[in-house]
Structure 1
Amino acid sequence: MKAKKIGALLLAAVMTFSLAACGGGGKDDSKGDSSSAGSSSDKKRVCFVARASADTFAAWLTTEMKKEAKNYDNIELTCVSGEGDDNKENGLLEDCVTKAYDLVIVQSNNNGAQAPYVQQLVDAGIPVITTNPTTHQSDLDGSDDDSVMEGTGTVDADPVAQAKVSADRAVEEVPKDANVVVLNGPSGNFHADKRREAWTEYFFDKRPDVKILYEDYANWNSDEALTLMESWVQSGTHIDAIISMNDNMAAGAIEAIRDDKEYVGADGTPSFLAYGVDGTAQGCLLIKEGMLTSTALQSAADLAKKNMEYADKVVNGEMKVTEVNDYVDAPEINKDNVQEYIQMYIDNGEITDDGSLSE
């Protein structure tokens, strides 16, 4: 099984590198040091708190934030990562209060766990934009109020729409009386929870013949998904479909059965379906290969562009942070249109010309 994990380890190394620094003209590191020489004192200091470097989407978003920050000479961007640990991310948010940033962009690992610390930022008078996912008022006070948390703004995507893209086609594609497995993101994460609810509404409620053979949390992580899938296939019951709340977990599950003749024929044709969300470069390559059936694009580039655009307007007094409320689209990616998205990743350097992930 060591061979299977090599790819995942290499990918994690790439993502860790991506999260090491973000720059808009300043010196930034994983500890949040945004000091720099020259005129940095004249710049507005913005911190992006990502949820984890081992999460392909968080890494992609961080990379795109880095690119976008270069377009704003008046902003110095610092990027830090909570590494999928609520305590670490909460500590980073407290550190943002101490360092008195001009604005903080928060990508929560667990909405409820981070909400009180987002409130600390608000109470300190620091503008906060929550992104991928939105922090809601209900995350803070346990109410039924799903509006954006008071005193904050948001740039996000609709997780229900993202999951519905693949759930709708799965209704027609998944064979009768199929056995499926479900890979969930972190419990309490808005996107993870809502994507799972959407699969219930748009697939499982419409296909009562389908049996959920196994379901567990892989926390957006490919290695965790790989381990779960290795365990699940040992039962001997064929798995007809992998339903994953993101591409990264789907990739891990696929890696676990890539060399299993029961799941992949000698000609490379899979005998299973697999669905994800995010439309990452890795996910697109898996679709082209025939291993991933479909996904929905959650463009980190679009999220980063909107986040930095609004951050610039807020720190310059052009708008209030509570006026920031914007969402990106969730187009479907499948075998019929995947090449255009692969070309997008070739153009931005995430996929090489020979069709492999950039290192």
Structure 2
Amino acid sequence: MRRSIKKVAAGLLATMMIGTMLTGCGGGNKKDSGSSKKETSEINIGFSQVGAESDWRVANTKSMKSALTAKNGFKLSFADAQQKQENQTKAVREFITQGVDVIAIAPVTETGWETVLKEAKKADIPVITVDRQIKTSDDSLITAWVGSDFKKEGVKAAEWLIKEKGKEKGDVNIAVLQGTIGSSAEIGRTKGFKEGIKDQKNFKIIASQTGEFTQAKGQEVMESFLKQNKDIDVVVAQNDNMAFGAIDALKAAGKTPGKDVTIISFDAIKAALKKVQSGEINAEFECNPLHGPRVAELAKKIMKGEKVDKIQYVDEQVFTKDNTTKEVINKRAY
């Protein structure tokens, strides 16, 4: 039983006991009119965000804050982990101490959460994970997850590349800028892409290293790739900010992004779609950051005691120069 329901039950029991005593003392049969249900009052929710390492993450934070407002029935406690899991663990423990109704986490990595999530479960606080997933030995520690099918994104990228370069006779040399190692996005996109190209004997991943989802690190790693490998045909950047860094590095090396080197990226933020339109990025695989409304809806249902699906995928699409118009870009919310 959820904490809110427990509180109501405790209140009703106390009221019944008081009513019984009053009846024995000549107090009559007055019904309690002061009890209230949690679903009609403010929901206290604590949200631990990875940080602000990318434009995508900033849009994700904005979506969460916009949905979890007092006007929408929420009291939000927000904690920026600055990309450190220890900060997230500390924040979750603080949420538990505060006695929030729901905890939401956009985790830095998938593992290392068992202990603190058991503490949340002991406190009877449901946990919703956002964007990246958490792996635990006890499935009940997570109530629901909202995010993207990262492996499917990787598979889609592989399928697109096979259509574009699958018939080439020579080797297709691929460099991969991975996201934060151990994060759901990195794991899923890496696995999906590798599985997708496994039957293409001429596709060779000649370099792979984390760019930590940041533009500066993406540029640094791409510069290193170019020093070690003269013939890079394709760059797969696991987010847009790393793609921007790779583009800067390629230009500095005298190469034309999108022409001399095929660029594949993930997220599809507005700035990246402009580069698709200009031809600097060849294909964008959307990762929708607007999770706030879905999280708000889930939190309300959970607090009412309603059953919710554990996996909540968001809708996404693929962008190339053919379908990336000025109108599409202008309508983009992130």
Q: What is the TM-score with the length of structure 2 in the denominator?
A: 0.80
Q: How does 1:214-233 map to 2 (within 5 A)?
A: 214-233=207-226
- Partner of residue 265, structure 2: 276
| Superposition pairs of residues 68-147 of structure 1, within 5 angstroms | 68-70=67-69, 72-135=71-134, 139-141=135-137
After TM superposition, give the deviation of residue 177 of structure 1 in Å. 0.6
Identify the residue that residue 331 of structure 1 maps to in structure 2: 317
* Match of residue 306 from structure 1: 294
What is the rounded CA distance, in whole Å, between the counterparts of 2:187 and 2:142 in structure 1?
A: 24
Query: Which residue identity is paired with 1:50?
Result: Q
Deviations 1:34-86 (Å, cap 9, x if unpaired)? xxxxxxxx622112211121133221111111222348432122322211112
8 Å contact kept, 1:108–1:114: no
* Distance in 2 between residues matched to 1:220 and 1:120, nearest whole Å: 30
On the 8 A contact 2:127/2:141 being kept in 1, the answer is no
- Measured at CA, do residues 70 and 90 of structure 1 come closer, stay the same or move farther in structure 2, by a change above 3 Å? closer
Cα pair 2:46 2:77 within 8 Å, conserved: yes
Contact conserved, 1:75 with 1:312, CA < 8 A, in 2? no
Q: Could you report, residue by residue, the CA deviation over 1:127-163 in whole angstroms, capped at 9, with x for unpaired residues?
A: 111121232xxx223xxx9xx5545211122112212
Give CA deviations for 1:186-244 in whole Å, capped at 9, x if unaligned: 222222112111111112x1222122221111222222111101112123513111112
**Structure 1 residues not aligned, in runs of 5+:** 1-41, 351-359
What is the SS of the residue equivalent to 1:77?
A: strand
**Contact in 2 for aligned 1:222/1:248 (Cα 8 Å):** yes
**Segment of structure 1 superposing worse, 70-79 or 167-176:** 70-79
Return the alpha-carbon distance in structure 2 between the equivalents of residues 217 and 151 of structure 1. Answer: 28
Which one of 157, 171, 175 corresponds to residue 181 of structure 1?
Answer: 175
Task: State the secondary structure of the residue aligned to 2:91.
Answer: helix
Identity across aligned pairs (percent)? 20
Alignment-derived partner of residue 353 in structure 1: none
Superposed displacement of residue 269, structure 1: 6.3
Q: Does 1:253 align with 2:252?
A: no
Structure 2 counterpart SS, 1:79? strand
- What corresponds to 1:171 in structure 2? 162
Per the alignment, residue 23 of structure 1 pairs with: none
1:142-161 → structure 2 map (5 Å cutoff): 149-161=140-152
Alignment partner, residue 242 of structure 1: 235
Instruction: Tell me the secondary structure at the aligned position of residue 207 of structure 2.
Output: strand
1:342 aligns with 2:329: yes
Moved over 6 A (4+): none
**Partner Cα separation in structure 1 for residue 328 and residue 305 of structure 2:** 34
3-state SS in 1 of match to 2:113:
helix
